[in-house]
Structure 1
Amino acid sequence: MNDSNGLGFYLPGALLLVAAALKAPALYRNPRDELLRSVVTLLVLATAVFGFTAIPTLVAVNRITGIPNAAAPVVFSLLTAFSGANIVLIFRWSSGPEDAERTRRRSRLCTVVTLAVIAAVNVLFALGDTPVERLRDLDTYYASTPYIREMILLYLAAHTTAAVTMTLLCRRWAREVHGPLRAGLTLIASGYVLNLLYDAAKFSAIGARWAGGDWDVLSAEVAPAFASVSALLVGTGFVLPLVSQHVTGQWDMWSRYVRLRPLSRELRAATRHSINLAGGPWTPIEIRLTQRESDIHDGILTVSPYLHAAVREQALRRELAAGRPADEAEAVADAAALARAVVLWGRARGGPEPAAPRAASPVLISPNTPSGLVRMSRALATSATVRSCRQAAAAEQGTPA
């Protein structure tokens, strides 16, 4: 799979780099978000693993440094760092606010151990001797070389330990969750099972060399294939729940924004735009929704002197008697009182009639929650009770409904 042009490694690496770039703006806005920082670090390290494992990159590193096989400790260090970053991310991902301090301690310990292994790998390489460049079979070619042998075994041992740890952590957590998070954890665990197969292939090839055999194909061909698929599964497993959460959140906000349109239209004339966040067609939905909800509350405040508890109570009794659930009945009653208040406010605004006295206490209940606003908006668009109150108010004032 690791062909001479490296496309089998560069292409998945590019996809992971794109995923990291997509998360970078969020990290720039929230630099102290430890979970987000861990995700971006993981994606960057995964990209580096793919990039530096490709044959053209190995050749380039060796040529630039002038040291045969200088790329080997670089690759081993990146693999070790990637494994450590996975464990740190799982620690931070699976812990709640009450476990923050313990998570920091475990993350620091994992980071220290990872850095120690990376340092040892590079020291052992510096102490050893690798005069012949080996791009595909360094593990087996130098399997009996002092210090290089220990370097290879150290990185494989660290990699195996991380794979076992991640597999157990992900499987245990996956039993407690559902949906995209469970799917993501299953992908990660599957990726680390392939990592274990990678380690098994490497150890088998090295053991065969010690015994005088030749199983180099396991190390040079089979193991890299396991590693490539594993990195994709692990990267996808981490990204999937985060992307799903983002998409779900965006969908929920757009849905609320659209469903609040009837209420926004009802209060359009009474809205004074206490804030103005709109910035054209490219305005994010978070800002659009905030603007709409602010305008709605501003409009309700404007017409509040014309809200009457008696109108609301009458509509509420009618809806409850008709068998409507309590929360929907309250939304219809609030919408009916609001529709009548808008008509009275419009009539007073256009004539000499003085404004009605402001209510001593809030009349409406639904605007206190986002879901209540949505139910109230739906009632304005669909309820016969609301239409009846609006028409009655218009008829009383002598204006068309």
Structure 2
Amino acid sequence: MSPHFHIPYAVPTVLLAIALVSRAPTFLRAWRDPEVRATTLLLLWATAVLVVITPANIDRLNRLTGVPNIASPWAYSFLTASCATGLAMIIRWREAPSPRRQRTIRRLYGAYAGVVVALWATFALADAPVPRIYDLDTYYADTPWMREHILLYLLAHLASCVVSTRLLAKWFPQIAHPWLKAGVVFLQIGFSSGLVYDAAKLTAVTARWCGTDWDVLSTRAAPPFALAQAALLAVGFIVPQAGPALTAWVRDRAEYRRLRPLWRTVKVLAPASAKARIGFWSPLDLRLLQRRQRIHDALRLLACHLDHGLYARAGRAAAALHGEDAADGLAGAVTVLAAVAACREGTPAAPADRPPRTAVDLSDHLDAVSLALRHPRTVDGVRRRATSTESLNVHV
């Protein structure tokens, strides 16, 4: 048995297994959600198919069970189950919840469950004593009951690919959500790969019926398209669910990093309340929430130290030096640094009975203030300009 046959199966199998494991937490949290359940089952069936059809595992199953070609009904049953699950998911995506949709999905599952039962029945009735690892479909193409066994899975798979491709093609122009549209593109390519697989297999089987040997279509041409279909369908069904979560993660990560300079500047102040213990491995959204809360708590502590006059002068100086777009962020950075220093020294910058507006103003552009704090030399230049302007006004 050549090891080269194992290479194509390993990569998609590992990728599907990783996707399945990554879905486990979501499944445990929301297993009642039909889409979550269906996605997890689809990944499970697709992974099971690739595990079973790996040549080494076919040989292992034959030897462990003592039943030649027992991998055939197992693999084809998993493939049929994944076809049913995929079709059901497409129907759920396309149609709003209704009794009609539920009936359609129940009939679909019933039909494919019947195919699975028929696969095992035909295998039990067939006489297939010679183990075939690579060419079972063509080797037993003329064998009673094995012929029906092979045709059952091929026609069930072909029907699911044709119906899915047709449904997706009609639905695609109506899709507005970008992640769902991307998922449908992967699905269309995946089901098209499945059609090529079925065409190659059926052509090779038909050739055997006609007394011609075109086995290469079944043993060499078809398998890569089956592997491509498994991987593409997994991606296609995961992308619409994982895409929005990934977008939110990227957005939160960017904000978390943007707020870091401001957070580092104000974290020297004593927190207004006990700090919750949130470690590096805590969810990003929780860490971002804590960082935002820490900054807002600090701004409340700084309220009596925020000098609105300094803020206004720094804004004019920043606008003159760096333009209006940078003025708010640089003015806020100068004011926060001065307020932190005043707070640590215990010298209020504004009367207690007249709280400044600056804290409210800063909350509207925290990102800009934090971005300005990344450039301490620029902030210091604005501070010196604002201070020199104040000195000039006092002198006059």
Same fold, TM exceeding 0.5? yes
2:259 equivalent in structure 1: 260
- Does residue 357 of structure 1 match 2:357? no
**Distance in 2 separating the partners of 1:30 and 1:2:** 43
> What is the DSSP-based 3-state SS (H/G/I as helix, E as strand, rest coil) of the residue aligned with 1:87?
helix
**Amino acid in the other structure paired with 2:261:** P
Distance 1:57 1:378, change over 3 A: closer
Distance, in Å, in 2 between the alignment partners of 1:137 and 1:316 is 78
- Confirm whether residue 206 of structure 1 aligns to residue 202 of structure 2: no
Q: Summarize deviations over 1:270-302 as a string: whole Å, max 9, x none.
A: 451636345555455434322211101111222
| Rounded Cα–Cα distance in structure 2 between residues aligned with 1:390 and 1:286 | 38
Tell me if the contact between 2:128 and 2:140 (Cα under 8 Å) persists in the aligned partners: yes
The runs of 5 or more residues in structure 2 that have no matched partner are: 392-396
The offset of 1:83, in angstroms, is: 2.0
Q: Give me the whole-angstrom Cα distance separating, in 1, the residues matched to 2:271 and 2:357.
A: 22
Pairwise CA distance, 1:141: 4.1
Matched letter for residue 56 of structure 1: A
Structure 1 position 246, deviation (Å): 5.6
Query: 1:311 & 1:116 partners in 2: Cα distance?
Result: 79
Other-structure match for 1:235: 234
Q: Which amino acid aligns with 1:166?
A: S
Are the aligned partners of 2:208 and 2:214 in contact in 1 as well (CA < 8 Å)? yes
Shifted more, 241-250 versus 15-24: the winner is: 241-250
Find the partner of 1:126 among 116, 124, 127.
Answer: 124
Deviations 1:293-332 (A, max 9, x none): 110111122233556888878988999999846xx77767
* 2:153 match: 155
8 Å Cα contact 2:304/2:356 also seen in 1: no
1:373 aligns with 2:369: no
> 1:17, CA displacement in angstroms?
1.5
Q: 2:61 maps to which residue?
A: 61
For 1:340 and 1:42, how far apart are their aligned partners in 2?
59
* 1:377 partner letter: S
2:19 aligns with 19
Cα displacement (A) at 1:388: 7.2
| TM-aligned CA distance change 1:355 to 1:104, over 3 Å | farther
Could you list the runs of 5+ residues in structure 1 that have no partner in the other structure? Answer: 396-401
Q: CA 1:54–1:332 in 2, change beyond 3 Å: closer, same or farther?
A: same
| Cα drift, residue 107 of structure 1 | 5.2
In structure 2, the residue matched to 1:293 is 292
Aligned residues with identical type, % of pairs: 35
Instruction: Provide, for residues 344-400 of structure 1, a one-character-per-residue CA deviation record: whole Å limited to 9, x for no partner.
Output: 5455x368x9971375999615636xxx431343356666898479859x99xxxxx
Q: How do residues 106-117 of structure 1 correspond to structure 2 at under 5 angstroms?
A: 110-117=108-115
- Deviation of 1:257 after TM superposition, in Å, equals 1.9
Q: Is the 8 A contact 2:314 2:386 kept in 1?
A: no
Match of 2:195 in 1: 196
Q: 2-side partners of 1:162 and 1:242: how far apart?
A: 22
Cα separation, partners in 2 of 1:136 and 1:259, compared to 1, 3 Å: closer
Residue identity in the other structure for 2:367: V
Contact 1:2 1:55 in 2 (8 A): no
Deviation at 1:139, TM superposition (A): 3.0
Deviation at 1:41, TM superposition (A): 3.0
Distance 1:271 1:359 in 2: 20
The aligned counterpart of 1:398 is none
Alpha-carbon distance change, 309 to 164 in structure 1, aligned in 2, over 3 angstroms: farther
Return the alpha-carbon distance in structure 2 between the equivalents of residues 391 and 113 of structure 1. Answer: 81
1:2–1:224 Cα contact (<8 Å) kept: no
CA-atom RMSD in angstroms: 4.6
Once the 2 structures are TM-superposed, how far is the Cα of residue 76 of structure 1 from its aligned partner? Answer: 0.9
Partner of 1:274: 273
Q: TM-score, normalised by structure 2?
A: 0.74
Q: 1:291/1:72 Cα in 2 relative to 1: closer, same or farther (>3 Å)?
A: same
Q: Secondary structure at the match of 2:81?
A: helix
User: Contact between 2:307 and 2:358, CA under 8 Å: does it hold in 1?
Assistant: no
SS in structure 2 at match of 1:274: coil
Aligned counterparts of 1:360 and 1:243: Cα–Cα separation in 2: 45
Distance in 1 (alpha carbons) for counterparts of 2:56 and 2:118: 26
2:368 maps to a residue whose letter is R
The count of aligned residue pairs is 385
Distance 1:355 1:32 in 2: 58
